[in-house]
Amino acid sequence: MHFTEEQIAFRESVRRMAEKHVAPIAAEIDENDRFPIEIVKLFGEMGLMQLWVPEKYGGPNGNLTMVCIAREEISRFSPACGSIAGLNTMFIMPLLHFGSEEQRQRFLPVLAKTGTVTAIALSEPQAGSDVSAMTTRAVRDGDSYVINGRKQWCSYGCVADYIVLFARTHGERGADGISAFILEPKKMKGITFGRHERKMGWRGAPNTPIFLDNVRVPIENLVGEDGRGFRSSMRALDLNRPTIGAQSVGLAQGALEASLAYAKERQQFNRSIAEFQGIQFMLADMAMQIAAARTLVYECARCGDEGDFDRLPVLASMAKCFASDMAMKVTTDAVQVFGGYGYTKDYPVERMMRDAKLAQIFEGTNQIQRVVIARHLLSGAFTGV
């Protein structure tokens, strides 16, 4: 794993910002489940939300490695705030890879400006891991489409300026026949949101269902070809999953740092608990697991930056799965290091453990990631080198 001088300087600037602006509000955001609008403004001004907008459209011209760096550093304190860095990635990717130049000229300069929030609406109540089972339908009507249905787990959708929504335009089931559309919820009629999901962790990042009642979307908001939207959703997920791995690494790193500080300070039997071999072994295991996950995440990021889309899908699944499983174990061990205090909200590790659990579930459960990895192995598409 090798970072350029530019990437190292970027990492240091994000780290300083996170220590100054994110760390002090992390516990309060979790306690109140508050969407930190001030962080949106700050990240927008720093170019962190819109990292992946190319320079020709007014953006920072970042890449997957830079998004991973930003999310890792911020997630040491709050993965909810970490999600806001590179938040617009899932909206940008379908436009860059499958959209028209007219669409890129229309939307990307807007995203390059500060504070624009976007979202992606893919999952449904009965279509989570099996995206191809979606039933939300878009019917062509003249020079527009009329969309009806429901989406679930839409992160930031209720505060978004734009949403990429996937709906079925042909057939009843399967990957073929799914199309991608750009919604403008603050302008289009028929879009309503349900209550915020009351999550165990990752609080401060709103998730809400979306209800679509005869929503009319102009044909120029169709991204790519009619019925070929599933490809864009998979490409977007492949490029976003490593960033979830990076957040998991940052979260685990924060738990390790808290555990180290506490173990040196906490006294039992007239010495610090850091002097006990049992604690030392736990800390060593935590550090090894974090280092391994970090290496895998940034190897995947390098693969994405180089456009190696043959290896990217399996590496993305590996990075997301391994890093989030690691974060769950490390944060659980951190609670153990803190003992009884680790189980209280007076210390951050119980929050970190709750946050780690979601990373194993969203962006495709870790069971689904293992299915993806196994398919590549069995087909010979991935040999491990």
Direct distance between the N- and C-terminal alpha carbons of the chain, in angstroms, rounded to an integer? 16
Cα–Cα distance, 18 to 16 (Å, whole number): 5
What does DSSP assign to residue 338? H
d(CA 27, CA 44): 22
Q: Within 10 Å of residue 286's Cβ, how many Cβ atoms? A: 23
- Determine the pLDDT at residue 131: 81
pLDDT means per 10 residues in the chain (385 residues)?
92 98 98 96 96 95 96 98 95 93 96 91 89 92 98 95 96 88 96 96 96 98 92 86 98 98 97 98 98 98 93 96 98 98 97 98 94 94 76
- Collect all residues with Cβ–Cβ distance below 8 Å to 374 and sequence separation of at least 6: none
The per-residue pLDDT for 385 is 60
**Residues 230-242: b if buried by 16+ CB within 10 A, e if exposed:** bbbbebbbbbbbb
Residue 169: phi, psi to the nearest 5?
-105, -20
DSSP label at residue 18: I
Contact 285, 333 (CB under 8 A): yes
Contacts of 346 (CB under 8 A, 6+ apart): none
**Separation between Cα atoms, residue 323 and residue 47, nearest integer Å:** 26
pLDDT at 132: 79
Report pTM.
0.95
Dihedral angle at the C-alpha atoms of 269, 272, 277, 280, nearest 10 degrees? 160
pLDDT tens sequence across 87-104: 999 999 999 999 999 999
With 0-12 CB in 10 A as exposed, 13-18 as middle and 19+ as buried, what is 186? exposed
| Catalytic (active site) residue 73 | no
The pLDDT value given to residue 281: 98
How many angstroms separate the Cα of 129 from the Cα of each of 32, 134, 246? 30, 10, 21
Task: Please answer whether residues 81 and 29 qualify as being in contact, where contact means their C-beta atoms are separated by less than 8 angstroms.
Answer: yes
Residue 129's pLDDT is what?
Answer: 83
